[in-house]
Chains A and B, each alone.
Chain A
Amino acid sequence: MARAATTADAFNAVAEPRRREIVDALAGGERPVNDLVRALGLAQPQVSKHLRVLREVGLVEVREQGRERLYRLNGPALKPIHDWVSAYAQLWSDRFDALDVVLEDLKQEGARRCP
């Protein structure tokens, strides 16, 4: 990775594609680290490194159960990212809703021209 690993906030933490895969994998619920290693096809030390970054920004939480470490998502920490992207998505949705109206007019014009 060319860019220095700045991982001070949730935005930076999920800018890394592998960490997003971890977040996606945990979206279905709590999972042990070995499970994540299998799901991602990465070596355990790499997965652990990514998990550490995600924990540092509060996106992921861990608890011990017997000899296993179980990881889970901390939903509220994802909310700023969700809100940020969804406001942009809303802009484009509104834009495209207006485009739908233009397209309906064009279709009707076309129908009038060639009945």
Chain B
Amino acid sequence: MPVTSDRKATVEVRGDREIVITRAFDAPKDLVYKAFTTPELVRRWWHAERGEMTVADIDLRVGGSWRYVMIAEGGMEVAFHGEYREIVPGERIVSTEVFEAVPDGEALNTMTLTEADGRTTMTILVEHQTREHRDMHIASGMEAGLQDAMRLLEETASSLR
């Protein structure tokens, strides 16, 4: 593997309604943008090795829509969709995002790319309308880890009563 540096994504839960995800890549930003916006390339990474992507629809224009569907291990279908609100090619995409299991919880995502010395930093700001939706969004990506966290949370909460 040519990739050796520390590559953990940082996730910051900010205020009541926001999540900020940041990660640096050893590639110029035009390539990162291409990988982020080309359906056959998105199909190769968005699943995060947790299943198979069956839909990666991208209509990349303001007002155009997107939809991603993954069949997770165990057969559960996880689907997200939204609409593009602002597009600055190679730099920035603002889009809405709905987790279809929670259809009334629409988030606004701002993906920004900045390049320095051939490396690109991607920042995704996820703004939810309510804290509850933000918290569910975080929960939507989880598998076994979530169950453990929730169990721990319950234990902690009940020990506090």
Of all chain A residues, the one with the shortest Cβ separation from B156 is A80
Question: Is A83 within 8 A of B149, CB to CB?
Answer: yes
Q: Count contacts on B: residues with CB < 8 A to the other chain.
A: 48
In angstroms, how far is the closest chain B Cβ from the Cβ of A13? 10
Of all chain B residues, the one with the shortest Cβ separation from A109 is B31
Q: Does A57 contact B (CB under 8 A)?
A: yes
Q: Count contacts on A: residues with CB < 8 A to the other chain.
A: 39
B139 partner residues in chain A, CB cutoff 8 A: 84
Question: Is B156 within 8 A of A58, CB to CB?
Answer: yes
In angstroms, how far is the closest chain A Cβ from the Cβ of B140? 9
Q: Does B148 contact A (CB under 8 A)?
A: yes
**Segment among A28-36, A42-50, A64-72, A99-107 that sits at the interface with chain B:** A99-107
Q: Does B2 contact A (CB under 8 A)?
A: yes
Of all chain A residues, the one with the shortest Cβ separation from B32 is A103
Q: Does A97 contact B (CB under 8 A)?
A: yes
Question: Is A93 within 8 A of B31, CB to CB?
Answer: no
Question: Is B46 within 8 A of A96, CB to CB?
Answer: no
Q: Does B61 contact A (CB under 8 A)?
A: no
Contact residue among A83, A93, A95 (Cβ-Cβ distance under 8 Å from B46): A95
Of all chain A residues, the one with the shortest Cβ separation from B25 is A103
Contact residue among A80, A98, A101 (Cβ-Cβ distance under 8 Å from B47): A98
